Amino acid sequence: MQLTCNCMKASSTLFATFRSLVVGFVAGLLLLIVWELRENATLLLFAVTLMGLAWYLNTKIAHHFHGHHHHSGDSALDAVTPAVLILANILHPAVDGFSFYQTLSNNGAAAALVVGGGIVVHEILRQSALIVAFRFVGIRWHTIVVTALLGITGGIGLGILESTVVEKYESIADLATIFAYAFVISEYSIHQHKTSKGKQVAFLLAGAIIAGVLHFFLSAH
**Contacts with 182 (C-beta within 8 Å, 6 or more apart), sequence order:** 30, 50, 51, 54, 55
Q: Which of 124, 128, 120 is nearest to 184 (CA)?
A: 128
CA pair distance 123, 97, nearest whole angstrom: 11
Quote the pLDDT of residue 70: 47
What is the chain's mean pLDDT, rounded? 81
Q: Is-contact 133 183, C-beta < 8 A?
A: yes
27-81 tens-digit pLDDT: 999 999 999 898 899 999 999 999 999 888 877 776 555 444 444 444 555 566 7
CA angle at 90 for the pair 168 and 86, rounded to the nearest 5°: 125
Quote the pLDDT of residue 82: 77
CA pair distance 127, 169, nearest whole angstrom: 22
CA angle at 176 for the pair 170 and 180, rounded to the nearest 5°: 140
* pLDDT exceeds cutoff 70 at 101: yes
Quote the pLDDT of residue 146: 92
Q: Is-contact 53 183, C-beta < 8 A?
A: no
For 2, 16, 193, the CA distances from 5, given in Å and listed in that order, are: 5, 16, 18
* pLDDT exceeds cutoff 70 at 9: no
Quote the pLDDT of residue 46: 93
The number of helix segments (H) and strand segments (E) in the chain equals 8, 0
For 44, 74, 172, 219, the CA distances from 33, given in Å and listed in that order, are: 10, 34, 12, 13
